[in-house]
Amino acid sequence: MTATGVGSLPGGDAREAARTVTGTFEDFAYLPELPARGPGADMIGRSLGLLVDLYAHVEPSGWRVSDRPGRDTKRSRSWLGEDLDALEEFTQGYEGRLKVQAVGPWTLAAALELRGGEAVLQDAGACRDLAGSLAEGLRAHLADVRKRVPGAEIVLQFDEPSLTAVLRGRVRSASGYRTYRAVDRQVVEGALRDLFAVHDGDVVVHSCAPEVPFALLRRAGAAGVSFDFSLLTEREDDAIGESVEGGLKLFAGVVPGTDVALSDPAGSVMGVRKLWRRLGLAPGTLAESVVVTPSCGLAGASPAYARAVQAHCVRAARSLADNPE
């Protein structure tokens, strides 16, 4: 049984973030994201900085496609380089799992604006170009991470909080008065499958939105799904049970991502034990099927809580492994 984080942390000190993560998660570290530094360090801007031959800049309404790399692209790449330098410093000799995060193609398409102000999502050709550019950028990024931390087992996480909205036609247009048409599930699944293929190791998809499409993600080739455990409903039991039996790992977000009084670690994973009993799964499979995480990123938490909640996840995972019943 193990634990890891989701991605974002409060503050702007890359070395402190890397020190905290590697000191807390001794066998499943991750590359921290520090969005408090501003545009380019945010989830969307960071991933746009990875794109190849496709650029973006910040407008009052958000990120918009550019003709050439500008100040915002350069800043995004500079901060990512700073984060990688810090991670490399604190992972000398590291041989555990190491998770790196990027925004998935559908959340990126819903967030990035075309020159006219509408989302890339409305243009099928632009969505394909965006996904292809992201694939090329990720290949180079993963190669860089492997070079910096050669002993690590790299896990690639795609952040897709808008995926359900894309599938259900709930993404609002620029005016806010209408929504974009739902994207066909086979198109969504195919694009994800192609993106997952850029990495020869495990791929995880994270969404802290309700109604995560577990079955679709498993068919696309995800090895795990990271989600806010508090948003699960019993209507999803069949999909989750089938996915777990098919080998999917659950990155169960069981601890709130913003400051609350933390319960005892065993109490934090009580819901996971109940889910296992409800699904009729063997308790012995918990250790191989569940990774404990916060419910979402920790950018909105205080620094003290962010440190405490990650250590709490490690203790909760240990509790689940020691007492699966």
Q: What pLDDT score does 62 carry?
A: 92
Number of domains in the chain: 1
The whole-number mean pLDDT for each consecutive block of 10 residues of the chain, a chain of 325 residues, reads: 94 96 96 96 96 94 92 95 97 96 98 94 96 98 98 98 96 88 97 97 96 95 96 90 92 93 88 91 87 96 96 93 73
Helix (H) or strand (E) holding 109: helix 105-111
With beta carbons less than 8 A apart as the criterion, state whether 248 and 291 touch. Answer: no
Helix (H, G, I), strand (E, B) or coil at 63: strand
In 3D space, the residue among 285, 304, 307 whose CA is nearest the CA of residue 294 turns out to be: 307
DSSP of 137-174: HHHHHHHHHHHHSTT-EEEEEEE-TTHHHHHHT--B-S
**Domain extent for 61:** 2-322
Q: What pLDDT score does 266 carry?
A: 86
Q: What pLDDT score does 176 carry?
A: 78
Q: What pLDDT score does 206 carry?
A: 98
Helix (H) or strand (E) holding 307: helix 303-322
d(CA 30, CA 243): 25
CATH number of residue 191's parent domain: 3.20.20.210
Q: What pLDDT score does 259 carry?
A: 86
Partnered with residue 159 across adjacent β-strands are 103, 206
Q: What pLDDT score does 234 carry?
A: 86
- pTM for the structure as a whole: 0.95
